[in-house]
Amino acid sequence: MSGRAGARRVARVLVVEDNLLMRAMIVNFIGTLPDFRVVAEAGTGYEAIRLVHELDPDLVTLDLEMPDLGGLDTLGYIMSEVPRPVVIFSAQGGAGAEQAMRALEYGAVDFVPKPSGSDPNHLFGWRERLQRALEAAVQAQLSNLPLRLPERMSRRSASARLAAAPDRATVVVAIAASTGGPRALADLVARLPATLPAAVLIVQHMPPGFTRSFAERLDGLGPLDAHEAVADEPIVPGRVYVAPGGYHMVVRRGEAGPVLELTEEAPLWGVRPAADPLFASVASHFGPRSVGVVLTGMGRDGAEGLRAIKAVGGQTVVQDAETAVIFGMPRAAAPYADEILPLGRIADAIAARAEAIAQRVHH
């Protein structure tokens, strides 16, 4: 970050956490980062709201489990009355994952799972994720978060999607997303048509224990079935597969056709799942029957993979700067894009390109 005359722009942070030990860990770590400064600490939601008004911090870190006013209610107030980037701290998995997904829907930029122990490697990973989340938060364009989530389908219409088990997919759409991705993907998946002649493979940068809840929230937003991917499952059209946190998801050739493989190879770009391994495997298995899409996020994951998809004759789409919460990943992938589109037009572009490819395949 830089300001006038080359001076460093230091982001002012309000830390909201009722657990004194956890709060001290957060404050002490942020104190080691030259681009951030803790300006105040709060132990309750009511205190947080008062300090946001008094101090006008650049960003807020917010615990979801607090006495008096809960984290979600506090977040809802901040985003509706005094909006600014908020990074959530959530419990690991289970109910914590569900709450973290709701926080993203309320407008939080990112979330960081609380460390589950004192193992040095685990704490190092926690600090690394917190730093990335803070860096993403100060770059986030909050106005580009979709204003509301689409309505979920009725139980009856959702169950009708699973009536038949289709053949293996001949066309695959691979999508990469990071910061701002959960909201963007909800908007995109809701717009995909029931007749989409392709499987949709999603890598959303997210830690273990949270992707299942995310996939469940995607399921039912539109006519396509969405679920967390399982090792060795067949890839079929009209379904959405979300890479599980902690695993890279790639395509491999099974006896009856392409299947999904989950690997624990080293993180790429600091994340696992990463999009580049998925995109490269889609390019090698589906060639010109591939569609690659890069959405909002920091860094450059997905750029090399999109280049691979384009190199084999596949179709490529990137989200534009005007609608991306963070234009890092799309910017890096833009040189390999056939189209750079606003979020609201990407689902139609995917459908049109997948349909055109499917028609070529069948003729």
What pLDDT, in 10s, does the model give residues 334-351?
999 999 999 999 999 999
Does the annotation mark 80 as catalytic?
Answer: no
pLDDT of res. 91: 84
Kindly write down the DSSP assignment for every residue of 309-346, as one continuous string.
HHHTT-EEEEE-TTT-S--HHHHHHGGG-SEEE-HHHH
CATH of the domain at 235: 3.40.50.180
Rounded Cα gap, residues 14 and 16, in angstroms: 6
Rounded Cα gap, residues 337 and 162, in angstroms: 33
Within this chain, do residues 206 and 346 fall inside the same structural domain, yes or no?
yes
Whether residue 81 is contained in a domain is answered as: yes
CATH of the domain at 34: 3.40.50.2300
Q: Which of 116, 140, 164 is the last residue of a domain?
A: 140
Is the Cβ–Cβ distance between 293 and 174 less than 8 Å?
A: yes
Within this chain, do residues 220 and 354 fall inside the same structural domain, yes or no?
yes
Whether residue 147 is contained in a domain is answered as: no
Does the annotation mark 58 as catalytic?
Answer: no
Provide the residue count of the chain: 363
Strand 199-204 versus strand 239-242 pairing type: parallel
pLDDT of res. 185: 96
Within this chain, do residues 136 and 103 fall inside the same structural domain, yes or no?
yes
Within this chain, do residues 42 and 120 fall inside the same structural domain, yes or no?
yes
Rounded Cα gap, residues 99 and 302, in angstroms: 28
Does the annotation mark 301 as catalytic?
Answer: yes
Within this chain, do residues 26 and 126 fall inside the same structural domain, yes or no?
yes
Q: Which residues of the chain have pLDDT under 50?
A: 1-6, 154-165
Domain that residue 181 falls in: 156-362
Within this chain, do residues 251 and 221 fall inside the same structural domain, yes or no?
yes
- The gap between the terminal CA atoms of the chain, to the nearest Å, is 53
pLDDT of res. 268: 96
Whether residue 285 is contained in a domain is answered as: yes
pLDDT of res. 155: 39
Residue in this structure with the two tokens 């690394």, named with its chain if needed: 128
Q: How would you class 151 by CB atoms within 10 Å of its CB: exposed for 0-12, middle for 13-18, buried for 19 or more? A: exposed
Within this chain, do residues 298 and 174 fall inside the same structural domain, yes or no?
yes
Within this chain, do residues 124 and 235 fall inside the same structural domain, yes or no?
no
Catalytic-role residue among 63, 187, 225, 301:
301
pLDDT of res. 37: 97
Catalytic-role residue among 205, 213, 248, 276:
205
Whether residue 146 is contained in a domain is answered as: no
pLDDT of res. 328: 96
CA–CA distances in Å: residue 212 to residues 223, 247, 291: 19, 13, 24
Within this chain, do residues 53 and 90 fall inside the same structural domain, yes or no?
yes
Whether residue 32 is contained in a domain is answered as: yes
Whether residue 224 is contained in a domain is answered as: yes
pLDDT of res. 361: 80
Within this chain, do residues 267 and 331 fall inside the same structural domain, yes or no?
yes
pLDDT of res. 1: 44
Whose CA is closest to 296, among 52, 47, 104, 16?
A: 104
Whether residue 210 is contained in a domain is answered as: yes
Within this chain, do residues 166 and 73 fall inside the same structural domain, yes or no?
no
Whether residue 125 is contained in a domain is answered as: yes
Q: Which of 140, 164, 185 is the last residue of a domain?
A: 140
Is the Cβ–Cβ distance between 15 and 21 less than 8 Å?
A: no
Catalytic-role residue among 90, 178, 281, 290:
178
Q: Which of 107, 140, 173 is the last residue of a domain?
A: 140
| Reduced DSSP (H G I as helix, E B as strand, rest coil) percent helix, strand, coil of the chain, to 5 | 40, 20, 35
Give the pair of three-digit tokens for residue 303.
Answer: 């750029």
Give the pair of three-digit tokens for residue 302.
Answer: 């997905």
Within this chain, do residues 225 and 351 fall inside the same structural domain, yes or no?
yes
pLDDT of res. 216: 94
Domain count, the chain: 2
Sign of the alpha-carbon torsion through 348, 350, 351, 356:
positive
191-224 pLDDT, tens digit per residue, is: 999 999 999 999 999 999 999 999 999 998 999 9
